[in-house]
Structure 1
Amino acid sequence: MAHRPHPDDAPVAVSCAVLTVSDTRTVETDRSGQLIQHLLETAGHCIAAYRILPDEAAAIAAQVRQWGTDSAIEVVILNGGTGIAPRDTTYDAIEALLDKEISGFGELFRWLSYQEIGSRAMASRAIAGVHQGTLVFSLPGSSNAVQLALESLILPELVHLVRQLNPAR
C-alpha cells in the first residue's frame, strides 16, 4: 500500500492556468487540456486561464512568464511537447525558466509511467518547478499521462506545494 501524505488542514481552491502545446489540437480536440481542467475543477480548484499554443519554445516561455506575473495564477500546468522529437520544445522552454526544479516530480512520473507503459517512459521529459513564485508542471500530451500525473502526483500535493510557496494560504 502506498504511503499517503497527511491531509491538509482545510480545503483550498487553487487558481490554475492550463496550457496545451500542440501544432494540431483545437479547443474541440484538446482531450488532455479538457481532462486537466475537469480533474482540477472536480478537486475543487479553479481555472483562471486556458490556452493552446503551437510547439514553439519562445511562445511557450512567453506565456508562462506572463502567467507567472499574474497574482491570480498560482499554478501553471502544461501538456504536450515533452518528448524528444525535433518539434518537442516544451521541456527546453520550461527548464530554462525555473527558479527551482522539483526533481522528484519527473522522477516519480517516469517511474509510474514505466509501470504502465514500460521502457518507453524513459523518453518523457516531464518536469516541474517554480517560476516567479508560481508552480509549473509540464506533462506529456497523452490523456493517459495527464490522468496519471494529476491523480497520482499533482492533486495529492497541490495545496501543500502552494502553501510551501505562500504560507499565508
Structure 2
Amino acid sequence: MIRLALIITSDSVYRGEKRDEITGLVEEKVKGLFHIVASRIVPNSISEIRATVLEAVREADIVLVTGGTGVSRRDITIEALKPIASKTVPGLGEEHRRRSYAKIGARALLSRTEAFIIGNTLVYACPGNPDAVSTALDILTEIGDHCIAEIRGEGHRERH
C-alpha cells in the first residue's frame, strides 16, 4: 500500500482560527488505497514547509502538500519546494488545472499546482480547498502507484 503524508499549509488553520477541512476528506478518500503515515499543519513559512516536507519524504511514497499554490504574496509553497526538488512532474499540475477548469472555469488557471520528485518521493502541491484536494487525490489514485514505480526504477523494463 502506498504511504501518504499530508501537509496542510495555512496560517489560519495553524493558529486555530479556521477549521481543518482537509484531513478528514483525505482520510475518507484514500481509505483502503493509501496508508497515511503522517499529517501535519504548518504556517505559510518557506523554512517550515521545507523542513516538514524533508521529514515526510523519509517515510512516505507520496507527500500531498495543500495550500500556498495561488498567486498571492502568502502563497509560497512552490517557492519552498522547487529548490529542494531533483525533478518536476509537469503533467500532474497540467491535469489538475484541466480538471479544475472544467469545474470552475478560468480561475483554475491561477493555480500553481505542481509536482516534484524529492529523494524517492513524489511531492504534489495543490490548492488548499476541499475540491482541489479531492481532484489531487483522484489523480494520485489513478497514477500514484505507476509514478512511484518509475521513481524507484521499477516502471520500465528494457526490451531487447
TM-score by length of 2: 0.88
- Cα-to-partner distance string for 1:115-154 (whole Å, 9 max, x where unaligned): 1111111110111021011110001001011111211x11
Which amino acid is the alignment partner of residue 84 of structure 2?
A: L
Q: Does the Cα contact within 8 Å between 2:100 and 2:132 map onto a contact in 1?
A: yes
Aligned residue runs from structure 1 range 83-102, under 5 A: 83-102=70-89
For structure 2, which runs of at least 5 residues remain unmatched after alignment?
156-160
Name the structure 2 match of 1:16: 4
Aligned residue runs from structure 1 range 61-80, under 5 A: 61-68=50-57, 70=58, 72-80=59-67
Aligned residues: 153
Matches of 2:146 and 2:93, distance apart in 1? 18
Matches of 1:43 and 1:119, distance apart in 2? 34
Matches of 2:69 and 2:32, distance apart in 1? 25
How well do the aligned residues superpose, as a CA RMSD in angstroms? Answer: 1.8
Q: Does the Cα contact within 8 Å between 1:16 and 1:46 map onto a contact in 2?
A: yes
Aligned residue runs from structure 1 range 14-163, under 5 A: 14-25=2-13, 29-40=19-30, 42-68=31-57, 70=58, 72-151=59-138, 153-163=139-149
Shift of 1:67: 2.0
Q: Secondary structure at the match of 1:137?
A: strand
For structure 1, which runs of at least 5 residues remain unmatched after alignment?
1-12
TM-score by length of 1: 0.84
